[in-house]
Amino acid sequence: MSDGYEVDPARLARQAGQLDPLVDEVTSIHSTLAAALAEAGACWGSDAVGQSFGGAHAGPSDATLRQLGDLPSRLGSVGTRFTDTAARYEGDDQHGVQRLRAAGPDVAEA
C-alpha cells in the first residue's frame, strides 16, 4: 500500500505568487525584442540568397515571437491554477473535517 501524498495548500498558494515577477520579466523581454526586430526590419537583403533565407526563417521567427508574447498569460494561468488548487484542497479538507464531526464520536472508536 502507498504512503499516499501530502499537500500544503498555504505553501502552494504562496508559490503561485513567485510566478508574478517572471511574468513581468518575460513581458519586458518580449517588448524589447519585438521593438528591436521591428526597428531592424527585414535584414536579410533583397538578393536571391537573402530572399531564400527570409522565406525559410521569417515564419518560424514570427511564430517564436508570438509564443514569447503568449508566455506571460500562460505563466499567469499556471499561478492561477496553483492558487485554485490550493483553495480546492483546503476546501476539501474542511469538508472532510465537517463530515467526520457530523458522524459523531463513535467514528473515532471504530
pLDDT in tens, 17-65: 899 999 999 999 999 999 999 998 888 888 899 889 888 988 998 999 9
Q: 85: burial class by Cβ within 10 Å (0-12, 13-18, 19+)?
A: middle
Q: Which residue has cell 526590419? A: 41
Identify the helix (H) or strand (E) that includes residue 99: helix 48-103
Q: What is the pTM of this model?
A: 0.67
